[in-house]
Amino acid sequence: MTTLTATPNRVAQYWALTKPRVTQLAVFCAVIGMFLATPGLPDWRVVVAATAGIWLLAGAAFAVNCLVEREIDSRMARTARRPMARGEITVPQTLLFSGIIGGAGMWVLYTLVNPLTMWLTFATFVGYAVIYTIILKPATPQNIVIGGLSGAMPPALGWAAIANDVPMQAWILVLIIFIWTPPHFWALALYRRDDYAKSGLPMLPVTHGMKLTQFHIWLYTIALVATTMLPYAVRMSGLLYLASAAVLGAIFLWHAWRIYRHYSDIVARKTFAYSIIYLSLLFAALLADHYLPF
């Protein structure tokens, strides 16, 4: 019989299944969506409940991802220490854990937020855990592009939590993350290309080579910078955001150009690290612009 023991080591193993660093960025973007959805401050009780529910369902999706990819993870240096890759947590235990926290997340969102947010978050769970992880990722080198929509949904989930609606402005935020995902992830795939070759996954640097991947990163970064101008173009934001997006985008373009024309693994590592900082600061600038009179 499987049990969820509460020893510190076991708790840490289950916590690792939720990929907390990735979850934090997703939930951060969802919270930004909550604050942008209203002219004033949102109801703090809804913010807390929505944050908890989205976090729980995201953690459940990542736990399923760890389960499905446990053999792949065991062949890659970057992921070999994950609990399922090491055999520290069994398949039934992972399914039980994912079911418990995912079910709790759905209950919180349905009862304390609204049904729309619950169903959108559940659809995101299915998109990531099933469509992307099981179907797309092992099937096509464009997996991260096609499957990126599920990872881009958090702002729409946060917006729906407060407004019980998902207007055009929310989908602009989704589009920004959707276009951000390929250059972000392919930078990682470039300097981890040997790992991905061992994994058997058809990642773009492995299937189509370094040069094409570098070029794609450059093109997607140009598209990303253009897309980040949309909030200002539709009067969703003001000059503070516009200036921030321009500066942050220029730095990202510089990193992408170095990947394209002066590649090294160190350059790719720095680009990957900056891409995370970039998205966080971009959304923080949106939030600041929303409340500051500029």
Could you tell me the CATH number of the domain that includes residue 197?
A: 1.20.120
| Per-residue pLDDT tens digits for 75-94 | 888 788 888 888 888 999 99
22: enclosing H helix or E strand: helix 20-36
What average pLDDT is seen over the chain?
Answer: 92
Question: The CATH number of the domain where 144 resides is what?
Answer: 1.10.357.140
- 175 and 153 within one domain: no
pLDDT computed for residue 2 by the predictor:
43
Q: Are residues 182 and 252 in the same domain?
A: yes
Q: What is the mean pLDDT of residues 232-248?
A: 96
Q: Is the pTM of this model over 0.85?
A: yes
**Pairwise CA distance, residues 279 & 102, whole Å:** 26
Flag whether 236 is in a domain.
yes
Q: Are residues 152 and 200 in the same domain?
A: no
204 and 119, same domain (yes or no)? no
Q: Are residues 141 and 174 in the same domain?
A: no
Residue where a domain stops, chosen among 165, 182, 205:
165
Note whether residue 83 is domain-resident: yes
Q: How far apart (Å, rounded) are the C-alpha atoms in residues 93 and 58? A: 18
Of 165, 186, 207, which residue constitutes the final position of a domain? 165
148 band by pLDDT with thresholds 50, 70 and 90: confident
C-alpha–C-alpha distance, residues 72 and 80, integer Å: 9
36 and 158 assigned to the same domain: yes
Host domain of residue 259: 167-294
Q: Residue 237 has what DSSP assignment?
A: S
Query: pLDDT higher for 181 or 145?
Result: 181
Q: How many domains does the chain have?
A: 2
Per residue in 97-140, pLDDT (tens digit) is: 999 999 999 999 999 999 999 999 999 999 988 888 888 888 88
Q: How confident is the model at residue 172 (pLDDT cuts 50, 70, 90)?
A: very high
